[in-house]
Amino acid sequence: MMNDNEVFESVAWESEDLAPPSAVPQQPTASSSGAGYRVPDAGGDPTELKWEGYLIPLVSDPIKELEGTKDMFVSYKVTSKTNLPSFSKSETLTRRRFQDFTFLRENLAKDFPACVVPPLPGKHRLEYVTGDRFSHEFIERRKEDLQRFMDRLAHHPTLQRSKLLRDFLTSTEWTVQMHSHLAHPPVPDAGGSLLENLSDTLINAFSRVRKPDERFLEMRDHLDKFEEGLVGIERGWNRVNNKMGDLSTDYHDMAVSVQGLGFLESGITEPLNRFSNVLLEFSTHMKNNSDQSTGPFIHNVHSLLAYSQINRSVLKLRDQKQLDFEELTDYLSQVSLERDRLAARSGLGGGVAPPSGLGLGAYLRDRVEAIRGTVDDDRTRVEKKKKLDLRIKELENEVTAAHETSDAFSAETLKEQAVFEHAKRAEMKEILGEMVDGQIEMYQQAMKDWDSIIPIMQRIRVDV
């Protein structure tokens, strides 16, 4: 059975009973992979990240199941190493197909609506049209995408502790677990609440928060700039890549020209041919580096951009929680005003001024009803007032609950931003680091090639 930290009933998932520092392993070394873990000092930043342990998943060994039939699919070996107390074993091994990952992602998003649940690679790709989704290249790319998805879950201090993720990694009866999760979700549907029953004119999807929180406005502005930066990186890399392609072609053409000179200069034919070969090799290095690095680099940038957009949706949901509170508050004010107007109507006769605070409009409406003969008698008015009193009490409870939910959701959103910032920085370091490594490898090989030609060129005798 799930504990209170794994559901959204109170929004506050972080356990106050985190393991004491003495019970928590030391921070992993730089050679370790998977999620880090640490416990902040008492009195530290409330948004500081807290992990109860590490979780290191690995997606590998894709296998085509039912190959040759219309029901063919690909399964992936999913292993993990962990010291999380919620796991009964330190190492797990299962096989899962893509739709299992999809179920995991969709239901984590439902169970933890304030969490930035990482996205999965979509099915709206060319391979689903051309029929190449079982090609080696497509399967390898999907395996890498699933690995990144699992890494993001493992690095999340809340999601790594979820029962659904634990079942996904450990259960030998995953189909039964899926059905059980759907039949008994950790966050039961409370049915149509008062808020959901309000008219669309009251709760408008296009409404804006009237009292925006500067903290979340700043977060949204930061996200805008971050996503603009990612788009700029993609554009810049594409320009660099195009220029590298042109430069590679130029080096190739230059090599051909040098080789032609070698046939004309009989005394230095061999050195010129060797120089031409180095130019060809350098041209090839540039082309291979461009071809091998561009696809993964751009793909990783797109993946990080999609992750950022999920974070944006959480901020939008937080705004909706605040908007729900504001709209309910306004609705309560309207009902209270109607109750006061109804109470003030008792004893009003023709020409009597409207009671203070109710306004001329309410008075004129009462007079129109009187002229039409629709004014309620005292008994009907009393019954209506009782109903309004009950309605007001119900609304007051709803407003209080909406206020608590809005505040709690805002607090969790602040924590989620810390999680996202941590993940974002780690992934940016990885993406840019891989690009740097590729460039260094290319130029180191080029330096060896150029160093090898220097002695040969120096042996050319020039008579004075």
Each residue's pLDDT expressed in tens, for the chain with a length of 464 residues: 444 444 333 333 333 333 333 333 333 333 333 333 333 344 456 556 778 899 999 999 999 998 888 889 999 999 999 999 999 999 999 999 999 999 999 999 999 999 999 999 876 554 444 557 788 889 999 999 999 999 999 999 999 999 999 999 999 999 999 999 999 888 644 444 444 444 444 444 557 788 888 999 999 999 999 999 999 999 999 999 999 999 999 999 999 999 898 888 777 888 899 999 999 999 999 999 888 888 889 999 999 999 999 999 999 999 999 999 999 999 999 888 888 887 776 544 444 445 445 555 655 666 566 555 554 566 777 788 888 889 999 999 999 999 999 999 999 999 999 999 999 999 999 999 999 998 999 999 999 999 999 998 888 877 65
Determine the Cα–Cα distance for residues 354 and 345; give it in Å rounded to an integer. Answer: 9
Are 180 and 173 spatial neighbours (Cβ–Cβ below 8 Å)?
Answer: no
Are 332 and 395 spatial neighbours (Cβ–Cβ below 8 Å)?
Answer: yes
Q: What contacts 387, CB < 8 A, 6 or more positions away?
A: none
Token code pair at residue 349: 């006769």
Token code pair at residue 77: 């070996």
pLDDT at 389: 87
pLDDT at 157: 92
Helix axes 378-458, 214-264, angle to 10 degrees: 20
pTM value > 0.85: no
Determine the Cα–Cα distance for residues 324 and 23; give it in Å rounded to an integer. Answer: 42
Q: Is the dihedral of CA 125, 130, 133, 138 positive or negative?
A: negative
Are 75 and 96 spatial neighbours (Cβ–Cβ below 8 Å)?
Answer: yes
Closest-CA residue to 315 (of 223, 434, 430, 419): 223
E strand or H helix at 232, and its extent?
helix 214-264
Determine the Cα–Cα distance for residues 291 and 245; give it in Å rounded to an integer. Answer: 9
Q: Is the dihedral of CA 139, 141, 147, 150 positive or negative?
A: negative
DSSP tag of 188: -
Task: Quickly count: other Cβ atoms within 10 Å of residue 163's Cβ.
Answer: 17
Q: Is the dihedral of CA 93, 95, 100, 105 positive or negative?
A: positive
State the burial class of residue 110 (Cβ atoms within 10 Å of its Cβ: 0-12, 13-18, 19+).
middle
At which residue do the structure tokens 């928060």 appear? Answer: 209
Helix axes 269-344, 136-155, angle to 10 degrees: 50
Determine the Cα–Cα distance for residues 130 and 135; give it in Å rounded to an integer. Answer: 11
Type of residue at 310: I
pLDDT at 369: 60
β-bridge mates for residue 82, sequence order = 55
At which residue do the structure tokens 């969709």 appear? Answer: 106
Q: What contacts 420, CB < 8 A, 6 or more positions away?
A: 116, 307, 308, 311
Closest-CA residue to 13 (of 412, 382, 438, 331): 412
pLDDT at 38: 34
pLDDT at 305: 94
DSSP tag of 200: T
Token code pair at residue 237: 């890399």
pLDDT at 463: 66
Determine the Cα–Cα distance for residues 259 and 248; give it in Å rounded to an integer. Answer: 17
Are 98 and 90 spatial neighbours (Cβ–Cβ below 8 Å)?
Answer: no
Type of residue at 256: V
